Structure 1
C-alpha cells in the first residue's frame, strides 16, 4: 500500500505563482500511478508514495500574487496558526518566494516542523523542505542555500553558506533552488530522490523539461558571481 506524504505549500502576499504551481503539478503526477491507463502509457509503476497538498497562509483571504490583482489569486486551505495549534506535522514543506519580509507566523510554523526533520530516522528521506530562492532562507541558519542571483548581496542572515553557482542546492533534507525555472529541476531531482530515476525520467519527459544538473548554472556568470 503506497504511503501518502502530506505537503504543506506555504504562501503569502506577493507569492510568485510560477514558483509553486508548476512544481506542485509535477509533484502531483506521482498520484497518476493510481490511474491504470495513464500509468501504463507513461510507464509510472511501483511508485511507493502519493501526495496530498495543503495550502497555508497567514489568513484564509485569497492570496494576491507578485503581479497584483490583475493576476489570479490563490485560496489557502488553512492558516499557519491553525496548523501550528493542531500540531500537524508535514512530510514535505514547499516554500515559494513571497513578500521580502517573511511573515513571522510562517517562520514560527517552520520552526515547529523542523524538529521532526532533525530527528528523522535513517530511511525517512521523504521528509524535506523545498524552497525557491528567498522563500525560506531568513528562517534558518547555518545551511547551504542556493538563491536567485540578484538577491545574494542583500540576503540575511550572514552566516548562511551561499552557493553562488548552482541550479539547486541540497543540505541534508533542505533543498533550495535559484530562479523560477530552476525549481522545476529541483523538484524533479527531489522526485528522483524519493522514487528513483525511472519515474523521474517519465515525469521530466512528460513535462518536456530538458535535463539539468546542479552545476548547470549559466546565470551565475551573467550576474557576475563567478
Structure 2
C-alpha cells in the first residue's frame, strides 16, 4: 500500500422510501475509488487517486430496504451496529419520501448526530439535507435542497436558523456539502473526487432550476 494513499470510510444512509437515484450515481463514482481499484495497478479497473473509498450501506434493520421505486436494497449493516468509537469519514444522505419527519427512522438521525463531531465530509442529495435539519445540524449553515420542495422545507424549518440557498446546484459550508437533486448530487460527488486529487470543476451557482421554480 502506498504510504500517501488515504482510505476513507463512506456510510450511505438507507431507509424505506429512499430515492434510489439520489445515491446510485454518487456511489457509482465513489465506487471507482474502491480500494481494490486504486491499489491494484495491474487491473483494468485501476484508478490513479490519492484517496480510496470504502463504502458501507447502513439501514435501520438488516431487512431489505424498499426504495420509493426500484428493486429492494440489501444493507451491509445497521445504524445500531456502529460502535461508539467507530468513525466514518464521509456520510451520504439521499432524499426521498422517507426523509419526511413522520417517516424518517429515529436511528438515522441518531447515527448522523453521533458521527457529526468527527466527520470529514457530510454529503446530502435532494431532501437529504432535511435530515440534517431534523437532526439540528444545519443551524447557522448554508444549505440547499430539492427545488420543487424548496419553499415547503424552508417553511418547515423556519425556526432552525438555516440559510437556505435557492440558486445553487450545491452549497459548501465547511465540511457540509448539500446538493439540489439527482444530477446535482452526481456533480457534487465529481467535485469532491476532483478535490481529493486537487482538480477544479464548475461552481455551485450553476443552477437553472431555481429560476424555473420561481425561487429567484
User: TM-score, with normalisation over the residues of structure 1?
Assistant: 0.81
Equivalent residue for 2:127? 134
* Aligned-residue offset at 1:87: 3.2
* Alpha-carbon distance between aligned partners in 2 of 1:188 and 1:97, rounded to the nearest angstrom: 18
1:86-140 deviations in Å (ceiling 9; x for gaps): 53210000111141223211111111111113xxxxxxxxx10100122133222
DSSP-derived class of the 1:66 partner = coil
Q: Which has the higher helix share?
A: 1
Specify every segment of 5 or more residues in structure 1 that has no aligned partner in the other structure, as ranges.
118-126, 201-210
Residue pairs, 1:1-226, within 5 angstroms = 1=2, 2-31=5-34, 32-36=37-41, 44-45=47-48, 47-67=49-69, 71-83=70-82, 85-98=83-96, 99=98, 100-101=100-101, 102-117=104-119, 127-135=120-128, 136-138=131-133, 139=135, 140-142=137-139, 143-155=141-153, 156-158=156-158, 159-197=161-199, 212-226=202-216
Query: Would you say the 8 A contact 1:137–1:145 is kept in 2?
Result: no
Q: 2: distance between equivalents of 1:212 and 1:66?
A: 30
- Output the CA distance in 2 between the equivalents of 1:217 and 1:48: 30
Structure 2 counterpart SS, 1:175: strand
How many angstroms does 1:28 deviate by? 1.6
CA contact (8 A) 2:167 2:215 kept: yes
SS at match of 2:110: helix
Q: How many residues align?
A: 198
Partners of 1:6 and 1:53 within 8 A in 2: yes
